[in-house]
């Protein structure tokens, strides 16, 4: 978190030296060539996965939190 904070503090000075006019998040016309165009034929009209609802009524919340903490410690994302 500290490194992210340091980067945010130094961003203005860095951006002033590195193409300050390039802001594709504000000017969509600058995005051309950065990303491939979306082929509308690739877009599905319905999801390709089952929309089953998972019943979590019997889940022990404390055990689930421990499991998540264990997975985070292992770095398995």
Task: State pLDDT tens for residues 18-54.
Answer: 999 999 889 888 888 888 888 899 998 888 887 788 8
User: What is the structure's pLDDT at 5?
Assistant: 95
User: What is the structure's pLDDT at 29?
Assistant: 86
- Mean pLDDT, to the nearest integer, of 68-76? 73
- Mean pLDDT, to the nearest integer, of 6-27? 93
Q: Pick from 32, 13, 31, 12: which is nearest to 23 by CA?
A: 31
31 CB contacts (<8 Å, ≥6 apart)?
Answer: 24
pTM: 0.39
User: What is the residue-averaged pLDDT of the chain?
Assistant: 86
Residue 75 pLDDT class (50, 70, 90 cuts)? low
């Amino acid at each position: 978190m500290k490194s992210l904070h340091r980067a945010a503090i130094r961003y203005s000075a860095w951006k002033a030296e590195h193409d300050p006019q390039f802001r594709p998040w504000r000017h969509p016309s600058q995005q051309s060539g950065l990303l491939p165009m979306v082929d509308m034929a690739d877009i599905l009209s319905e999801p390709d996965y089952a929309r089953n609802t998972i019943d979590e009524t019997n889940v022990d919340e404390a055990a689930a939190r421990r499991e998540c903490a264990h997975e985070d410690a292992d770095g398995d994302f």
